[in-house]
Structure 1
Amino acid sequence: MGVGPHDERFMAAAIRLSRWHTGLTSTNPSVGCLIVRDGVIVGRGVTALGGRPHAEPQALADAAELARGATAYVTLEPCSHHGKTPPCAEALIAYGVARVVIAVTDPDPRVSGRGIALLRAAGIEVDAGLLEEEGRRALAGYLTRQTKNRPYVTLKLAISADGMIGREGGGQVAITGPAARAQVHSLRAETDAILVGIGTAIADDPLLTVRTPGLESQSPIRTVLDPALELPLTSKLVNSARDVPVIVVARPEMDEARAEPLRSAGVEILPCDPYHPEVLLPALASRGISSLLVEGGAKTARLFLDAGLVDRIQLYQGPGTIGEGGIESPLQKTDMPSGFAHRGTFIFGEDRLDEYEREL
Structure 2
Amino acid sequence: MRRALNVAEKGRGLVRPNPLVGCVIVKDGIVIAEGWHDHLGGLHAEQMAIHDAEEKGHSTNGATAFVTLEPCNHFGRTPPCTEALLWAGISEVIVAHGDPNPLVRGNGIAVLEQAGISVKSGLLEDEAAEQMREFLHWCKLRRPFVTVKIATDCKGSVDDLSGNSGRFTSEQCLVKVHQLRKDCCAILVGANTVIRDDPSLTVRLVDSQRQPLRVIIDPNNRIQSEAKVLTDGFGTKHLSEEFRGLGPMLDMLGDLEIQRLLVEGGPTTINHFLEADLVDEFIIVQSDVTHTNPVPTNFNLAHFSNISRTNWGNESVSIYTR
Residue of structure 2 in register with 1:5 after alignment? none
CA contact (8 A) 2:195 2:223 kept: yes
Mapped to 2, the partners of 1:206 and 1:120 lie a distance apart of 53
What is the alpha-carbon distance in structure 1 between the residues aligned to residue 134 and residue 111 of structure 2? 26
- Report 1:25-104 matches (<5 A): 25-64=15-54, 65-104=58-97
- Mark the CA change 1:290 to 1:213 in structure 2 (over 3 Å): closer, same or farther: closer
2:246 paired residue among 277, 282, 288: 277
2:295 partner letter: I
Match of 1:193 among 183, 186, 189: 186
User: What pairs up with 1:102-141 in 2 under 5 angstroms?
Assistant: 102-141=95-134
Partner of 1:233: 225
- CA distance in 2 between counterparts of 1:56 and 1:329 reads 48
Matching of residue 321 in structure 1 with residue 313 in structure 2: no
Secondary structure of 1:42's partner?
strand
- Judge which range, 51-60 or 151-160, deviates more: 51-60
2 CA distance for matches of 1:134 and 1:175? Answer: 35
**SS of aligned partner of 1:91:** helix
Structure 1 residues 217-237: Cα deviation after superposition (integer angstroms, max 9, x where no partner): 432111111112222122121
> Is the contact made by 2:150 and 2:264 (CA closer than 8 Å) also made in structure 1?
yes
Tell me the distance in 2 between the aligned counterparts of 1:75 and 1:229. 45
Letter of the 1:90 partner, please give it: E
Give the TM-score normalised by the residue count of structure 1: 0.83
Distance 1:356 1:101 in 2: 33
Q: Which residue of 1 aligns with 2:320?
A: 356
Alignment check: 8 A CA contact 1:28 1:51 kept: no
CA distance in structure 1 between the partners assigned to 2:241 and 2:284 by the alignment: 31
Structure 2 portions without partners, runs of 5+: none
Q: With structure 2 as the length reference, what TM-score do the two structures score?
A: 0.92
Amino acid at match of 1:337: A
1:24 and 1:51 in contact (8 A); partners too = no
- Residue type at the aligned position of 1:228: N
What is the number of residues matched between the two proteins? Answer: 319
Residues 34, 74 of structure 1: 8 Å contact kept: yes
- Specify the code of the residue in structure 2 equivalent to 1:341: N
Contact 2:68 2:128 in 1 (8 A): yes
- For residue 306 of structure 2, what is the aligned residue in structure 1? 341
Cα distance in 2 between the residues matched to 1:174 and 1:84: 41
CA 1:84–1:178: 2 relative to 1, 3 Å: closer
Deviation at 1:294, TM superposition (A): 0.7
| RMSD (CA atoms) | 1.9
State the Cα distance separating 1:347 from its structure 2 match. 1.9
Deviation (angstroms), 1:58: 1.1
Contact conserved, 1:104 with 1:136, CA < 8 A, in 2? yes
Q: Is the 8 A contact 1:30 1:51 kept in 2?
A: no
Partner of 1:203: 196
